[in-house]
Chain A
Amino acid sequence: MDSTAVAPPSGVGARQMRLEDPGLLTGRDRFTSDLDIPGALHAVFVRSTVAHARVESINTTESATASGVVAVLTHEDLAAPRVFFPTFGKLIDDAYHRVPLASDVVRFVGDIVAVVVAETVLQAQDAADLVEVEYDPMEIVVDPDAAVAPDAPLLFPGAGTNVAVDLPFEAGARDLDAPIRVHQRIAHPRMAVSPMEPLAIAAVPGDGEKLTLWCSTQMPHVSRGLMAMWLQMDPADLRVACPAVGGGFGGKTPAEPDYVLVAAIARHLRRPVRWTQSRSENLLTMQARGHLFDVTLEATQDGKVTSIQSEGLTDVGGYPGLGIGMAMTARGLMTGVYDIPHASHVVRCVATNTSPTVPFRGAGRPEALHALERTMDRLAAELGLDPVELRRRNFIGADQFPYTNAMGTEYDSADFEKALDEALRLADYAGVRTEQATRRSDDDDVEIGVGVSTYIEVSAGSPGMTGEYCSVEVSEDGFATVVAGTSAHGQGHWTVYAQILSDRMGIPVEKVRFVQSDTEAVPHGMGTSGSRSLQLGGTAVRKAADEVVEQAKQVVAHLFEASPEDIEIVPGRGLAVRGVPGHGLDWGEVARTVADEGRRPPQAASRLFADPAFEQGGGTSPFGCHIAVVEVDTQTGMTTLRRMVAVDDCGVVVNPLLAEGQVHGGIAAGIGQVLFEHSTFDDEGNPTTTSFADYGMPSAADLISYDTAHTVTPTTRNPLGAKGLGEAGTTGSIAAVHNAVMDALVRRGIDHIDLPLTPMRVWQALQDRELDA
């Protein structure tokens, strides 16, 4: 097949193959550690091997004189900046903020105590082994329940408590006479974000105060702002740019403590310094989730939920930071898809001597939906109701939107019945229940389980991040260039933005160039996170495209002495007077015309360019229903996935091929959390899952193919009618798989098993139940 064949213009709704692919498939596109940075030194971090200790001494003498070493830096050599996130700054005590280069105390295994900088990576690694650190061990606390206890060892004596955040919330009227009450404590354990490309940065000082940071991040502009603040630099002197980025999933938002340390070192030495994170560093320091939810549902005898009362306990690790945001976001979605009139929740975040947590796909929303959906199944069991029926009785009706839940979160549009019915149909729910009944009556050791999860979430919902910048320009060669403030790292924005532009302008997708992820080339941006990019960036592209079309119409009208209302787009070519095809120009000619003062309309700009930007003013709410069918071998505890059905509604789908890919990836992450993945520490705070040999990162052999479908409930929040989809797969799948396994074990008298549902944990639960019985 000729890979250079030009396809016909394919806009919104088309399964357009990606423009990004040739560069990635051939290895031509460069990731940060592929960049050629002449004269760059290499940094290797010396990290604490104890979870909580005073640093008595750091001996760098032998290390500093090792072959190729330029510097070995400790807090005595470098005033590393304090890392604090302004959004949390008012929320948590100053004492909790981290200095990435530890001085008197280390608070987790992995806390950085020294940095070796050498000519080559091998030399830096060799020299790092020679750094001698003396630790005076302090009392360690790893378990979050222990960390909140009054006699817990304190990580931050200055703050007086390990509880960095403790916020109650309540709204609505609670029915005190509700006869049914179900309580469940649900763990949502720590796991590793684990993008295939770990963190990587090259910090290159320029003239004067200028500094360029080539790095793997999801948010170049936001990173620039934070880094400039932490380094006390003028943002105008700081450039943050990304080449290809190998996945993020929330682990590369927004600015990394490790990056600010490398940047500070480059400035200190006045030489380019680069650092590539190892996988073991990545599995240790890029961890997420880590919540315990106590959930109580109260309901009528008919199964109408009258109240949800929950308390969260979130382990945010040695330095409370981004993990707090996840706990806050979870609160907002605790009522999920249900019309519950009363809700209370406590957001409680506690420091422990483990890795500080970061966001992972869904960033608080999967956690909330998991806790809710799991407890709904417990309520169904209590009432003797089919879990599907219980859900139907509680859905927010399709006519109740826009809807604000008891937590104050607004949902713009949804139709839960429609998604549920489609999922039930695809899963052949009735057929699975029949097969299940047969196996049960046969007393089969291998049980079938089916689990349902109905979810809603919020995309593009982060306060202050509900708008985006994009510009469109057409140049004299007839190509359009999109400059975007979002920052794709696998999502295919070049392709979908080109499709949107192509729809509006008639320029083929192959003639669309794309610029992103460079604060020097892109004036403004908020990057890519929270499933924001398509709806915000895509609408910004559409608005810019429409403005450029108006400009072009003026030009063509002027040239042919027609009215702009009589000019139309000729797809694949340019614009012409309606009904007079000969009176037209192709796009390149239009661009050449505006560049010519003698030929362009008076008062027209000299180039075809627009950047109106788009402010949505809020988020949108994707939703759906996932159904998992599993087999659980009660002899071994082993769970095998039989089917994973996902019906997701993100409104109008711009590219179904890419949309499916986003759902697949989201589902895999959800399944991973349920069956395989867990970041663990022993009682001394030593990490025990810091390589892929220990951490259950799923491979193709562990997973199955997925049955995905969409319902389409458009949003009126943007002209595309589109919502986000990048995280929905994860938000929907976790409870579906968890509920399926528990459903398989219903006859064994086990109410609940916490994640991950590894064979060992399921088998042990079965053994324990046998003993109790």
Chain B
Amino acid sequence: MTDTTETVVVRLNVNGEDHETTIEPRELLVDVLRERLGLTGTNVGCETTSCGACTVLVDERSVKSCTMLAIQAQGREVRTIEGLAAGDDLHPVQEAFRRCHGLQCGFCTPGMVMASVSLIDEGRATDEKAVRSALKGNLCRCTGYHNIVAAVLSAADEIEVSR
């Protein structure tokens, strides 16, 4: 950035921690998370809000962070994949993905997992058809989705039981 570039200071709460950083107003949330905060778990897979690799939670709701300006996340609680596990203990959704072999290369996985956490939380993981529909915005080229759907249904059962 040169002196003539307009900048703004944003305060973001990410995974329970407060961050303050100076950015250009046009910077996307995903780029600020990755480049300025070093949280590279969230990935960029497209430019048309289609693939979902960038999915994070904002105030507990799934959001495609490539389609949100970082400024828009100010004053809200952002949760990325890095904030999901508790130390070495994986979140039940992460565990289910591992159990069901719901990931191969892992590039779509952080977004897929965050989207799954959100859809289960909202009670939308009722059956296979509902899960497939809810995951329409998260693309994967490796798994053919079969085991991802199984993982989400399995995690939903587990989370339901432990409620």
Tell me whether A668 is interfacial, beta carbon within 8 Å: yes
Given the known A-B contacts A29-B106, A245-B105, A664-B144, are A705 and B149 also in contact in the complex, defined by CB atoms under 8 Å? yes
Given the known A-B contacts A25-B113, A67-B4, A490-B106, are A699 and B95 also in contact in the complex, defined by CB atoms under 8 Å? no
A27 touches B82 (CB 8 A): yes
A195 touches B141 (CB 8 A): yes
Given the known A-B contacts A27-B82, A700-B136, are A657 and B101 also in contact in the complex, defined by CB atoms under 8 Å? yes
A660 touches B101 (CB 8 A): yes
**Smallest distance from the beta carbon of B136 to chain A beta carbons, Å?**
4
Mask, A205-231, CB within 8 Å of B = 1, is 000000000000000000000000000
B146 touches A68 (CB 8 A): no
The B-contacting residues of A in range 627-681, CB under 8 angstroms, are 657-658, 660-661, 664-669
Tell me whether B62 is interfacial, beta carbon within 8 Å: no
**Smallest distance from the beta carbon of B27 to chain A beta carbons, Å?**
8
Residues of A within 8 A of B41 (CB): 26-28
Tell me whether B14 is interfacial, beta carbon within 8 Å: no
Residues of A within 8 A of B104 (CB): 247, 490-492, 661, 665
Residues of A within 8 A of B149 (CB): 700, 705
Residues of B within 8 A of A176 (CB): none
A279 touches B101 (CB 8 A): no
**Smallest distance from the beta carbon of A369 to chain B beta carbons, Å?**
19
Given the known A-B contacts A280-B47, A664-B144, are A27 and B110 also in contact in the complex, defined by CB atoms under 8 Å? yes
Q: Report how far A33 CA is from B27 CA in the complex, Å.
A: 17
The B-contacting residues of A in range 24-58, CB under 8 angstroms, are 24-31, 33-34, 36
A-B contact count (CB 8 A): 196
A692 touches B46 (CB 8 A): yes
For A658, give the chain B residue with the smallest CB separation: B101
B141 touches A196 (CB 8 A): yes
For A25, A195, A198, the residue with the greatest tally of chain B CB atoms inside 10 Å of its CB is A25
Tell me whether B67 is interfacial, beta carbon within 8 Å: no
Residues of A within 8 A of B103 (CB): 21, 24-25
Q: Report how far A492 CA is from B48 CA in the complex, Å.
A: 30
For B84, give its contact among A26, A120, A701 (CB under 8 Å).
A26
Q: Report how far A24 CA is from B111 CA in the complex, Å.
A: 12
**Smallest distance from the beta carbon of A640 to chain B beta carbons, Å?**
12
Mask, B111-155, CB within 8 Å of A = 1, is 001000000000000001001110111111111111111100000
Name the interface size band of chain A.
35 or more
Residues of A within 8 A of B34 (CB): 34
For A490, give its contact among B1, B142, B147 (CB under 8 Å).
B142
A21 touches B107 (CB 8 A): no
Mask, A701-716, CB within 8 Å of B = 1, is 1010110000000000
A706 touches B80 (CB 8 A): no
Residues of B within 8 A of A660 (CB): 101, 146-147
B50 touches A692 (CB 8 A): yes
For B108, give its contact among A2, A196, A661 (CB under 8 Å).
A196
Tell me whether A244 is interfacial, beta carbon within 8 Å: yes
**Smallest distance from the beta carbon of A517 to chain B beta carbons, Å?**
13
**Smallest distance from the beta carbon of B124 to chain A beta carbons, Å?**
13
A1 touches B141 (CB 8 A): no
B146 touches A701 (CB 8 A): no
**Smallest distance from the beta carbon of A325 to chain B beta carbons, Å?**
21
A21 touches B105 (CB 8 A): no
A244 touches B136 (CB 8 A): no
A244 touches B143 (CB 8 A): no
Chain A: interface secondary structure?
Answer: loop
Q: Report how far A26 CA is from B140 CA in the complex, Å.
A: 17
The B-contacting residues of A in range 699-735, CB under 8 angstroms, are 699-701, 703, 705-706, 729
Mask, A131-173, CB within 8 Å of B = 1, is 0000000000000000000000000000000000000000000
For B95, give the chain A residue with the smallest CB separation: A1
For B2, B143, B145, B150, the residue with the greatest tally of chain A CB atoms inside 10 Å of its CB is B145
For B158, give the chain A residue with the smallest CB separation: A1
Given the known A-B contacts A246-B43, A692-B46, A693-B48, are A699 and B137 also in contact in the complex, defined by CB atoms under 8 Å? yes
Residues of A within 8 A of B128 (CB): 705
A197 touches B107 (CB 8 A): yes
Residues of B within 8 A of A247 (CB): 104-105, 107, 141-142
B4 touches A244 (CB 8 A): no
**Smallest distance from the beta carbon of A21 to chain B beta carbons, Å?**
4
Tell me whether A532 is interfacial, beta carbon within 8 Å: no
Q: Report how far A30 CA is from B106 CA in the complex, Å.
A: 10
Q: Report how far A17 CA is from B48 CA in the complex, Å.
A: 34
For A699, give its contact among B24, B89, B99, B135 (CB under 8 Å).
B135
**Smallest distance from the beta carbon of B93 to chain A beta carbons, Å?**
9
Tell me whether B74 is interfacial, beta carbon within 8 Å: no
Residues of A within 8 A of B98 (CB): 3, 17-18, 21-22, 25
**Smallest distance from the beta carbon of B130 to chain A beta carbons, Å?**
10
Residues of A within 8 A of B12 (CB): none
Tell me whether A287 is interfacial, beta carbon within 8 Å: no
Given the known A-B contacts A699-B135, A700-B131, are A668 and B145 also in contact in the complex, defined by CB atoms under 8 Å? yes
Given the known A-B contacts A21-B103, A34-B40, A703-B144, are A196 and B5 also in contact in the complex, defined by CB atoms under 8 Å? no
Residues of B within 8 A of A31 (CB): 40, 43, 107
Tell me whether B65 is interfacial, beta carbon within 8 Å: no
**Smallest distance from the beta carbon of A243 to chain B beta carbons, Å?**
10
Tell me whether A70 is interfacial, beta carbon within 8 Å: no
Q: Report how far A36 CA is from B40 CA in the complex, Å.
A: 10
For A664, give its contact among B108, B133, B143 (CB under 8 Å).
B143
Residues of A within 8 A of B146 (CB): 660, 664, 703, 705-706
Tell me whether A278 is interfacial, beta carbon within 8 Å: yes
For A196, give its contact among B107, B113, B132 (CB under 8 Å).
B107
8 tightest Cβ-Cβ pairs between the two chains A and B: A27-B41, A246-B107, A24-B106, A490-B105, A668-B144, A692-B50, A490-B104, A664-B144
16 inter-chain pairs at a CB distance below 8 angstroms, sorted by A residue, are: A4-B88, A22-B98, A26-B90, A68-B2, A122-B24, A196-B43, A196-B105, A247-B105, A278-B47, A490-B105, A660-B146, A692-B46, A692-B50, A699-B139, A705-B146, A705-B150
Known contacts A697-B139, A699-B135, then 19 further A-B pairs from the complex at CB < 8 Å, ordered by chain A residue: A20-B106, A26-B81, A26-B82, A68-B1, A122-B27, A196-B141, A246-B43, A247-B107, A278-B47, A660-B101, A660-B147, A664-B146, A665-B143, A668-B144, A691-B48, A699-B138, A700-B136, A700-B148, A703-B144
